Homo-oligomer: A and B are copies of this chain.
Amino acid sequence: MPTYTAPTRDARFIVNEVLDLASYSNLLGFESATPDIIDTVINECGKFAAEVLQPINQQGDAEGCTRNADGSVTTPSGFKAAFDQYRESGWGTISSPEEFGGQAMPHVLGFAVEEFISTANHSFGMYPGLTNGAVNAIYATGSEELKTKYLPNMIANKWLGTMNLTEPQCGTDLGLIRTKAEPQADGSYAITGTKIFISAGEHDLTENIIHLVLAKTPGAPDSSKGISLFLVPKVLVNDDGSLGERNAVQCGSIEHKMGIHGNATCVMNYDGAKGWMVGEENKGLAAMFIMMNAARLGVGIQGLAQSEVAYQNAVAYAKDRRQGRALTGPADPEAKADPIFVHPDVRRMLMDAKAFTEGMRAFYLWAALLVDLTHKAPTEEERAEADLLLGLITPVLKGYGTDKGFDTAVNMQQVFGGHGYIKEWGMEQFVRDARIAQIYEGTNGVQAMDLCGRKLPAKGGAAVQKFFAVCDEEIAAAKGDESLAPLAEKLERALCEQKAATMWFMQNALANPNNLGAGAHHYMHIMGIVTLGLMWLRMAKVASAKLADGADDKAFYEAKLATARYFMDRYVPDAGALRRKIETGAESMMALDEAAFETAA
């Protein structure tokens, strides 16, 4: 049975030493996040995740969720009790707004908590996970009445939230939505339609579920400009806040999935269900994107999560399992064979994983800090700058993070040889669970197009120019430091590839937009490499300074420097290949017509 230890030392390293959260104590909400509080939250949540959530993860996969005859859904054994503990500990309220009962602490802390939860139990984490996005959407666009009525209980996790976007005929292209919202005399709407793939659509964890549903009002434009967002509670809420009648929304069935069996992915049937509009009519897409952006950051963390737990178990197996001898001669001559840890190809997979997971942790925590800065930085300029960078890196965190996260989980399964394919060891569950993160909340192809088609050209390329400036500055500074210069020079090569690819898009996308589409996926991966490289440069800088200062935890900092070297050796070269692929353009990719793809018998 697999095990999990929350990597709290590493999280504290990034939060306290790399991001230096204490230096932001002048910001609203940050003053309460003292180093003591930070350490306590990280350590306690790490314990909760490892001791309560991880032990019910494998059973949750085997058992799955059950839809009962009355349409109710039973979650796997132990989920309800664990959720009660989660709610009581307040893990879901850390960075929620104080006026509705949240703790208003930095998102940096909220995201760190999310990592541990997702890693210990991906399916469990999805139940409260989507609630944050729903809260954000209501908070940003909902009426005071809706906020007062729903947010306190949602933030307290007494009620959970969902996102209802997808329909059978409509995934990415939300203009195709058919669900209807008919205005009623009392100001509410009657919602009718079928939604599919609704995560946590029905369950037994809370007494109420607040669905946020995209639908069309009568006569709305027949495109994504005609979508509105509605709040549809599972159980209607009386004016005094007590629960009233059951609303006309039902779970029709639970999808049979490759993984995340512990989460109920539901077909939801709305049959004239009572709902209230959130924000303005026909502006549902904008409100939805508030949810979606939060969800995408969360999914990026999931990319790290399953690779982290898979990595920890692969390390344990590689130390324990004995097969063959080291190429350099027996490492343990007394035994009949050496641990497979000695084999370079095993080490390659473990180092790939270590370089990825620690780099990704720095990446998402940087993104979390940017989320905070978009709201709380002292000047408008700083807030705008944070927003610009955050928009640019969000699709990279989601797309690159989950692509590499899945690859990493697969490689960690590979370390186990045949045992990795056997369910009992748990590795194949990590792979199946990790797979969804590349797909949901916008497939990674959609992320790549968001990055290249929207974020790159927006505001005359201001976001990517800002990103380049950040990289240039940190590389230049590192080049002046003997211990960092070799790392900085290698990162600079990857950055040059990204700049060249950006330039190529500028010169070739206008003539043929397919040139952009044909390279978007590769560009997202180049930028993932550059961003992780930047994270490794930052971590190496801190480690190097700590070692120079004679820090106690010497081995920890030396490992950071060695892993940074490995990242530059083994990740950076791909940037050049990706750039060369981009520069071949769309010609050979789009040359063939449909018939050429038919299988000829």
Q: Chain A: residues with CB nearer than 8 A to chain B?
A: 5-10, 43, 46, 166, 169-173, 175-176, 196-197, 222, 255-259, 312, 315, 319, 322-324, 327-328, 336-337, 341, 343-351, 354, 406, 410, 413-414, 417-418, 420-424, 428, 431-432, 435-436, 438-440, 443-445, 448-449, 453, 512-514, 516-518, 520-521, 555-556, 558-559, 562-563, 565-566, 569-570, 573-574, 576-578, 580-581, 584, 586-592, 594-601
Q: Are A592 and B563 in contact (CB under 8 A)?
A: yes
Closest to A357 in B: B599
Interface on chain A toward B: helix, strand, loop, or mixed SS? helix
Rounded to whole angstroms, the CA-CA distance of A601 and B8 in the bound complex is 5
Q: Are B327 and A514 in contact (CB under 8 A)?
A: yes
Q: Are B573 and A319 in contact (CB under 8 A)?
A: no
Contact of A328 among B6, B354, B424, B513 (CB under 8 A): B513
Q: Which of A448, A513, A597 has the most CB of B within 10 A?
A: A597
**What are 14 A-B pairs at a CB distance below 8 A?**
A9-B601, A196-B418, A197-B418, A327-B453, A327-B517, A328-B513, A344-B517, A345-B521, A348-B518, A414-B444, A562-B596, A573-B577, A573-B581, A574-B577
**What chain B residues lie within 8 Å of A431 (beta carbons)?**
258, 435
**What chain B residues lie within 8 Å of A171 (beta carbons)?**
323, 417-418
Q: Are A324 and B172 in contact (CB under 8 A)?
A: yes
Q: Are B327 and A516 in contact (CB under 8 A)?
A: yes
**What chain B residues lie within 8 Å of A578 (beta carbons)?**
573
**What chain B residues lie within 8 Å of A6 (beta carbons)?**
599, 601
Q: Are B599 and A584 in contact (CB under 8 A)?
A: no
Rounded to whole angstroms, the CA-CA distance of A344 and B270 in the bound complex is 35
Contact of A598 among B315, B440, B569 (CB under 8 A): B315
Q: Are A600 and B7 in contact (CB under 8 A)?
A: yes
Q: Which of A7, A345, A562 has the most CB of B within 10 A?
A: A345
**What chain B residues lie within 8 Å of A166 (beta carbons)?**
418
Q: Are A337 and B565 in contact (CB under 8 A)?
A: no
Q: A328-B514, A569-B589 are in contact. List 20 more A-B contacts (CB 8 A).
A: A9-B600, A9-B601, A172-B417, A175-B336, A197-B418, A256-B424, A257-B423, A327-B513, A328-B513, A344-B516, A344-B520, A414-B439, A562-B588, A562-B596, A565-B588, A569-B581, A573-B581, A574-B577, A576-B577, A576-B580
Kindly provide the distance from the CB of A290 to the nearest chain B CB, expressed in whole angstroms: 21
Closest to A171 in B: B417
